[in-house]
Chain A
Amino acid sequence: MAIFPLIYSLSISFMSYRLIPPLPPRFIGLDNYIALLGQERFRAVIWTTSIIVVISVFLQYVIGFAVAMALHAKIPGEKLFRVGLLLPMLIAPVAVALIARMMFHPTIGPLNELMTVFGFPNLPFLTNKYWAMGSIITVEVWQWTPFVILLMLAGLQTLPDDVYEAATLENASPWQQFRDITFPMLLPISVAIVFIRAIESFKIMDTVFIMTGGGPGIATETLTLFAYQEGFKKFNLGYTSALSFLFLIFIIVIGVIYLAALKPYVARRI
């Protein structure tokens, strides 16, 4: 079940295989890969996806860490916060995207009314290139920050109290405590969380599909959406498979560089 799709798509990535018109598959070696690498649109799509991943994962991590710290500081009503804050990551991306379309709606959405109060009526949240990217990143942050909160909170709970007591006796300021104790001790789990989030974010599809459909033009088209368009609008299967292997190689290369670069700071294996 798990291996077959891999092997099957690897085999057709070296072929010219289209369902429409239904020509028999023909072996063409690396031509699919070469064609892809030379295509302007492919590079644009990689760039778009990378921007979404880098910005949204960065924001998720910073906000998630901050919220987890705040929750850890024993605040009234903490239990309620926890249930509410977990919810977005458990909602289907499809539903999240539909909610986002309601929120960002140019005439009936509440966000539009808020912006009108500040003097910016009818902003093109989903139809302007830059606004659309911003909206997609916002939705990603909304949905996945809870994941970071959940795991960072678990990490914070494993930290030993006595270190902090010692630090308080030494008159270390809260900022010093954070910089010299909390952050270094949570670095391994942080690296793992960012890694998981980045890998999952690279596959972003449902949200973009429903919110903008990749538009305007191809301004917000992500890799997975591009693969979908090639495969299921044009039924160009060989090409799509080659695309996904390039995608896989791209992710693995980035992942290996990321882990290697951070290895000196992280004592344990992930």
Chain B
Amino acid sequence: MSTQLRSASAHVFRYLSIFGLMFWAFFTLFPLYWVLITAFKPPLAVIGGPTYFPWIDFDPSLKAWRDIAAGIRGNFKGTVLHSTLIGITASIIATLFGSMAAYALVRFPFRVKLGSGLIFFTIAFGGYLILHEYAGLSRSNAMFIAFSTALVTSIIVNRLRLPGPVLGNDDIVFWFVSQRMFPPVVVAFALFLMFSEFGRSGFTLIDTFWGMTLCYTAFSLPIVVWLMRDFFRALPIEVEEAALIDNVPSWRIFKDIVVPMSTPGLAATFIITLAFVWNEFLFALFLTNSKWQTLPILVAGQNSQRGDEWWSVAAANLIAIIPMFVVALVLSRLMRSGLTLGAIK
């Protein structure tokens, strides 16, 4: 091929990719545009067939927003507040503990013997069954006793010499991530039963702030560990080694050196966790009913509550989407500063 032909083909490639991008952007953005305009349509402009441009083929109206403000479509103010409070608290706790765990998994080798893991599982599972079915203890007591016995025994056993394979840090991380493979429906139901057992023994967790926060913290941890592990791995180890030589305790290394160096990573992880909690539907469906209902439940309810009032559905969707738009802005800024590079190295 001659050079001229080559540059011509490069040009064609360039125009093709611009054209393709335009098409994809249209495909991505049109539904969002549609929600935006539908939220400001008067009912007649929705039912009468599709209309596309404000002031040209329909006159914008604030009917949907007045309905929402008047509380006809459900308690939006309270729900948004709940979602925000739960989301921020759960994300802070999950990022805090998750990043500590991730840091430990990156810098310190852990050796868990498969045998002791099996012993933990047997005692926890068997002990729970025996205590609950035969000794007649309530589920929460049986669980508490079985789990703490299992934990202590397996820690002791782990110190002994045991035959069998030894699991390293990668296996622990895999175990963390594999929790996300389990179908969430069943987890949600088991959690519901566990929470109602706790409720019977005095701690109300269903439909409370702490119950929801606890649940979301637990289920965000795998994501946080997985993301933060890659950020920490990308950090240069020399600084920490220097600090170790100067006898700085490891929690201070973490607090004063590691955390400041990985601020963008922490911010991104926090934001991703927040998005996950904000959008979560299934757990909220099972674990809340009225007092601490979150936004996705209310949005999903719009569909059936008063028939297909699409203008109100669109307005409700928009309330759920706008914070995520801000998140997308922040994420794309962080992305430009080469942040996602760490995630795959």
Contact = CB atoms under 8 A, between A and B. Distances in A.
A107 B47 CA distance: 8
B35 interface: yes
Contact of A155 (B52, B183, B310, B344): B344
Contacts of A85: 24-25, 28
A206 interface: yes
Grouping DSSP codes into helix (H, G, I), strand (E, B) and loop, the A interface class, with mixed when no group exceeds half, is: helix
Contacts of A81: 21, 25
B317 A75 contact: no
A32 B10 CA distance: 61
Contacts of B296: 92, 94-95
Given A7-B128, A9-B190, A157 B18 contact: no
Residue of A4, A81, A173, A240 most packed against chain B (CB within 10 A): A4
Given A84-B25, A99-B34, A110-B34, A79 B332 contact: yes
B181 A252 contact: yes
Contacts of A217: none
Given A3-B124, A85-B24, A158-B345, A199 B186 contact: no
Contacts of A79: 332, 336
B313 interface: yes
Number of chain A interface residues as a range: 35 or more
A233 interface: no
A1 B34 contact: no
A248 B201 CA distance: 32
A87 B190 contact: no
Residue of B9, B18, B28, B191 most packed against chain A (CB within 10 A): B28
Contacts of B215: 1
Contacts of A154: 335, 340-341, 343-344
A244 B182 contact: yes
B321 A94 contact: no
Interface string A1-40: 1111111111100000000000000000000000000000
A235 B275 CA distance: 31
Interface in A93-126: 93-95, 98-103, 105, 107-110, 112-113
B279 interface: yes
Nearest to B14: A73
B47 A108 contact: yes
B17 A98 contact: no
A95 B187 contact: no
Given A70-B21, A142-B28, A102 B183 contact: no
Interface string B121-155: 10011001100000000000001000100000000
Interface of A: 1-11, 63, 66-67, 69-71, 73, 75, 79, 81-88, 90-95, 98-103, 105, 107-110, 112-113, 142, 146, 150-151, 153-155, 157-158, 171, 173-174, 189, 192, 199-200, 203, 205-206, 210, 223-224, 227-228, 231-232, 237, 240-241, 244, 247-248, 251-252, 255, 269
Interface of B: 1, 6, 9-10, 13-14, 17-18, 20-21, 24-25, 27-32, 34-35, 38, 46-50, 52, 121, 124-125, 128-129, 143, 147, 170, 179-187, 189-191, 193-194, 214-215, 218-219, 221, 275, 278-282, 295-296, 299-300, 302-303, 310, 313-314, 317, 320-321, 324-325, 327-329, 331-332, 335-336, 338, 340-341, 343-345
Nearest 5 CB-CB pairs, A to B?
A5-B190, A92-B279, A70-B17, A154-B340, A1-B218
